[in-house]
Amino acid sequence: MRLIKLICFLFVVQVYAQQGGMWIPSLLEGMNEDEMQSLGSKLTAKDIYDVNNSSLKDAIGHFNGGCTSEIISSQGLLLTNHHCGYGQIQSHSSLENDYIKNGFWAMNLNEELPNEGLYVEFIVRIEDVTTAMLKGITDEMSAREKQSLIDKNRNGVEKKIKKEDWQGIKIRPFYKGNQYYLFVTERFEDIRLVGAPPASIGKFGSDTDNWVWPRHTGDFSLFRIYADKNNRPASYSEDNVPYKPKHYLPVSLDGIEEGDFTMVFGFPGRTNEYLPAVAVEQITQKVNPSNIAIREAALEVIDANMQTDDLVRIQYASKQARIANAWKKWIGENLGIEKSGAIQIKRDFEMEFTKALKAQRLESEYGAILPEFERLYAEFEPVNVKRNSFVQVFLVTNELMQMMLRVAQLEMASKNGQAAFNRARNSTINQIKRIHKNYSVKVDRGVYEKVMPLYTDKIDVSIYETTAFVDLDKALAVLEGDMEDVITKLNSDPAYVYAKPMIMEFFNQYEPEFQRMNTEINGLQTTYMKALMQVMPDQRYFPDANSTMRVTYGKVNGYAPRDAVYYNPVTYLDGVIEKYQPSDYEFDVPEKLRELYTAKDYGDYADANGKLPICFLGTNHTTGGNSGSPALDAEGNLIGLNFDRVWEGTMSDIYYDPEICRNIMVDLRYVLFIVDKYAGAKHLIDEMDLVHPKR
């Protein structure tokens, strides 16, 4: 008896140690299904993904290309994060109707707010198209030749595929281009805002708590998908009706306990789990520090202005959050790589690989890969850092330089004639309008002063006095008239005269160099991946995230980030009150929420201990794009909403360490509590299927 227990224990530990991975939903049968069931899942692979019957996947939508969302009622009610709907919440907000500050709740369908440009995409089916995509590819071909043949093959595959008129197709490379999968998609474009808590709940803790545990953020918002009268995707129309989904997620009222099975289903964006050690070194020692410094310089200016000026606070809310988010993530990533010893682990692994090559007599085929990586990355380093800096300055932080980049592209388009110019002019105008919609010259000039010295030693603040582009009307006037005129006017604008040489240097020199070396490195990475899977077939291989639908699973679990420190996996409302700082911009708590706490008025949403749960941790392997992903229990009921990872574990994009990598989810009971008790939007709760799987 004891022995059997010991064996079971060892088996569980073994499985546990192996965790990590983002798996393709159509390929779960076998290894993943077994592993999930050994962790407590009651689901079959077909419950999760089925082409012929409705399955869990039908409830999971890619939210605007960058986040995940899920349907939680028969009426197309859609749940995602507050930070995923932030742009929409912001766009409906003004000083008079400040939905960021006060929250927003539609009390009936008529009050739901349409959102131009917002879409949600579902996966109808997934097909392996590797053979057709790699047809004719040989080892002798250069990376370029391979790519052009693959592009040709792609056309052939797309033409042959059977789908309905309203459906779309996507083909994506997996395992670094050693496999290809095709996705038939359905895209809904009439998505309306239904509800959002105030930022003091939805963004509670803001940047101080971002990427950090213990966490107390109610990071959710609600939307609704509308369809035409045939229940098909349609662009916005007053006549559209709530979408009737093939599947929607029941919501569990029973909550979670440490050790419970959890599964996260969503659209993770990008990971890089198979990089050689030399690449990880470059990222952590060169690229991250340079990018961090540029963003930090911009944030110093933006933060100071947001705290003293309410209009700037609204204008820069979304932008600031975006800049701060990756800034803090990179810092955590560097710490995690350091702490986990990932570079040395990779070096050791590469020694194993080299030994295995020898043993299998594959040195002539694959022996050059690792030395070649060393050579290429050394050459790549200055170009890689420079290009990253350009992006951080000209695309992420400094808005005047962003406008200059756009108009430089307009001038380049003019070289291709009138028609090309006209097209480019329209998009340039739109981009400039978009920037000016939330623009403060004072803030942007401050950003310029701090950021530009990190890119060049040519600084000239006076351009802000004389350029037309800090004023929308004047900027649009420059772009008016015939082509020659516009180009002449542009070339006498001081900001353009200043920026143009740097932009041209980028397009003529850094960018082509970067692309050339990047193509070479990617080609080598494809061969490396192939070699790994052939030479060391017993390793755990999952394809890197690429914004396609994935399943990841694990358990509710705390963690020990430092000596003598252990973090519990669940936080409670008590912790919100502990962090409460009256009128602080990050840690204020709405009066109503404090009253509910004092009265312990938690409805059906409290834990067995009488406390109201807020967030919990799991060992699910997630990344950016998994925001808004559902966390499901062993039966496929909704128990949580993924929104973050712990700081010590953000290096999981490069190296997944089951000891310290955790994802952070909002407990669904907190979501229900806020909708019901805080917002009084009981009608939304009534739409959902609330279940008690543990009773």
Catalytically annotated residues: 83, 219, 627
Helix (H, G, I), strand (E, B) or coil at 313: helix
Nearer to ligand GLU, 67 or 684 (CB): 67
The β-bridge partners of 184 are 125, 169
555 binds ligand ARG (CB under 6 A): no
| Cβ 565 vs Cβ 632: under 8 Å | no
| Cβ 327 vs Cβ 392: under 8 Å | no
- Least separation in angstroms between residue 10's CB and ligand ARG is 36
Report 624-653 residues binding ligand ARG (CB under 6 A): 624, 627, 643-644
Residue 321: name its binding partner from ligand GLU, ligand ARG, none (Cβ under 5 to 8 Å by kind). ligand ARG
178 binds ligand ARG (CB under 6 A): no
| Cβ 683 vs Cβ 107: under 8 Å | yes
Give phi and psi for 273, each to the nearest 5.
-85, -10
Position closest to ligand GLU via CB: 627
Residue 282: name its binding partner from ligand ARG, ligand GLU, none (Cβ under 5 to 8 Å by kind). none
Burial label, 52 (beta-carbon count in 10 A; 0-12, 13-18, 19+): exposed
- For the chain, how big is the Rg over CA atoms in Å? 26
543 binds ligand GLU (CB under 6 A): no
Helix (H, G, I), strand (E, B) or coil at 125: strand
| Selected range binding ligand GLU among 309-317, 426-434, 580-588, 642-650, rule: CB under 6 A | 642-650
261 binds ligand GLU (CB under 6 A): no
- Least separation in angstroms between residue 117's CB and ligand ARG is 20
Instruction: Tokens for 89, please give them.
Output: 């919440």
- Least separation in angstroms between residue 507's CB and ligand GLU is 30
- Dihedral sign from CA coordinates of 125, 131, 132, 134: positive
644 binds ligand GLU (CB under 6 A): yes
590 binds ligand ARG (CB under 6 A): no
| Cβ 266 vs Cβ 625: under 8 Å | yes
Count CA atoms within 13 Å of residue 92 on its CB side: 23
Residue 211: name its binding partner from ligand GLU, ligand ARG, none (Cβ under 5 to 8 Å by kind). ligand ARG
- From residue 372, alpha-carbon distances to 168, 346, 368, 525, 682 in Å are 39, 16, 6, 11, 62
Pick the binder of ligand ARG from 207, 273, 444, 544 (CB under 6 A): 207
Rounded-to-integer distance, Cα 370 and Cα 381, Å: 17
Instruction: Tokens for 320, please give them.
Output: 């600031």
554 binds ligand GLU (CB under 6 A): no
Nearer to ligand GLU, 68 or 75 (CB): 68
Pick the binder of ligand GLU from 626, 636, 646, 671 (CB under 6 A): 626
210 binds ligand ARG (CB under 6 A): yes
Residue 448: name its binding partner from ligand ARG, ligand GLU, none (Cβ under 5 to 8 Å by kind). none
552 binds ligand GLU (CB under 6 A): no
Nearer to ligand GLU, 285 or 547 (CB): 547
- CA neighbor of 615 nearest in space, from 36, 16, 212: 212
Q: What distance, in Å, lies between the first and last C-alpha atoms of the chain?
A: 30
| Selected range binding ligand ARG among 267-275, 318-326, 477-485, 538-546, rule: CB under 6 A | 318-326
| Cβ 15 vs Cβ 38: under 8 Å | yes
Residue 623: name its binding partner from ligand GLU, ligand ARG, none (Cβ under 5 to 8 Å by kind). ligand GLU
Neighbouring residues of 653: CB distance < 8 A, sequence distance ≥ 6: 270, 271, 272, 273, 333, 623, 624
Residues that bind ligand ARG (CB under 6 A): 83, 203, 206-207, 210-211, 321, 324-325, 624, 627, 643-644
Contact positions toward ligand GLU, by CB under 6 A? 67, 622-627, 643-645
